[in-house]
Amino acid sequence: MWSIDVYASCGMNGYLWLCERNGFRMVLPTLINGLGDIMNNHVINVTYINPTPHKHIPEPPKGVVMPKKVLQETVARRRRDCTAPHVYVVM
């Protein structure tokens, strides 16, 4: 079992596992009646295993400049009531 490099995979983590059911097959039998087998296959089949549970703190990648939050007043309108409450939206 090989650990996935978080930096090389743009943040994906977990494990890749090659076992008896995985591997490389030159000929793949088709599952559709009337369709021929896949010949000269060059795809490696691997199993992905989820990472162990860990505390996740979401944060933007290094170098990201976050825009300043702007608070704007908007008016929410109701169908039957002409008195609309004021709603503040963070943009």
pLDDT digit string, tens, across residues 14-44: 898 887 777 778 888 888 899 999 898 888 7
Distance CA(23)–CA(41), nearest Å, equals: 12
> Cβ(6)–Cβ(12) under 8 Å?
yes
pTM of this prediction exceeds 0.85 = no
> Rounded to the nearest 10 degrees, how much is the dihedral formed by the CA atoms of 52, 56, 61, 67?
160
User: E strand or H helix at 73, and its extent?
Assistant: strand 71-75
> Cβ(16)–Cβ(5) under 8 Å?
no
Tell me the per-residue pLDDT of 42-82, one tens digit each, with 9 for 90 and over: 887 888 888 888 777 777 777 888 888 877 666 555 555 55
State phi, psi for 7 to the nearest 5 degrees. Answer: -75, -35
User: Which has more confidence, 5 or 61?
Assistant: 5
